[in-house]
Amino acid sequence: MSLAGPETCVSFIYEISCFELLTPEEKELVDSRSVLVNYKKGENICKQGSFASHIMYLEKGLVKIFLEGNPKDLILSVTPHKNLMGLQALYEGNNTFLYSISTYTESVVRLIDIQIFKQLLKQNPLFAFRIINILNESTSQSYGRFFSLTHKQLHGRLADILLCLSRKIFKAETFDLPISRSDLSDLTSMSTESVIRIMKDFKDDGIIDINNKTITLVDVPRLDRISAKG
């Protein structure tokens, strides 16, 4: 087994900054051609297959980006605030959303006209270069997860997700989990029952602690070993 650890993360990027690469006029253009939208917990931000007329920037909140399947979805990423979403819609000839996005918490999203966004890319190469970096970062994480889900068994996969949530999303060893067991199962590609059982295993072994919605990673090195072993 290889590819353990941070590469298997579910998050896109900690926080991205790209707009500071724009000129004042370009920033103003973005402002004038974008809108802020508020979403309540559990709401859909975009729907897989529908037409994509804008790029989304998560100003505030926590969301999941997922492929809809029958009967089970596949969560591609849990994305915290300050991340761009829906960049794949830039791909010419595919103006539909590849995935659905919905919120875990109250969120604020900036919707940026996709034509404006394309224009910025074409006129500001440093901005374009930054976007390339962002896409590559996200691809790297995606490959790590790909490996985790296809080559590790249940305990390793759940360890990966718990470590990632702790390190990348909540940045703490104790955190309130707004993600249900069922969503954890969509994230790890296993049944909800298995998530529950393995969480209990971890708790019984003193690796994690569970108090209602609050999770504490008690023995991180052990989780790392479980992740590495697969």
Partner DNA sequence: ATAAAAACATGATGCAAATCATAATATAAT
Partner DNA sequence: ATTATATTATGATTTGCATCATGTTTTTAT
Q: Site for DNA (CB under 7 A): which residue of 192, 216, 224, 228?
A: 192
Q: What is the token pair recorded at 166?
A: 């702790």
Residues 6+ apart with CB under 8 A from 181: 192, 195, 196, 199
User: Dihedral of the CA atoms 12, 125, 31, 101 (nearest 10)?
Assistant: -20
If contact means CB under 5 to 8 A according to the sort of partner, which of a second copy, DNA, none does residue 229 touch? none
Among 193, 205, 214, 229, binds DNA (CB under 7 A): 193
Question: Exposed, middle or buried by CB within 10 Å (0-12, 13-18, 19+), for 191?
Answer: middle
- Nearest alpha-carbon partner for 76 in 104, 57, 172, 68: 68
Residue of 107, 69, 115, 63 whose CA lies nearest to 85: 63
Q: Which of 4, 112, 161, 190 binds DNA (CB under 7 A)?
A: 190
From a second copy, DNA, none, interface partner of 139 (C-beta below 5 to 8 A by class):
a second copy
Minimum Å gap between C-beta 179 and a second copy is 18
Nearest to a second copy of 98, 108 (CB atom): 98
Which of 50, 133, 136, 153 binds DNA (CB under 7 A)? It is 153
Q: Give the separation between CA 26 and CA 55, rounded to whole angstroms.
A: 16
Binding site residues, a second copy, CB under 8 A = 1-3, 67-70, 72, 74, 76, 87-88, 90-92, 94, 98-99, 118, 121-126, 128-129, 131-133, 135-140, 142-143, 145-147, 149-151, 189
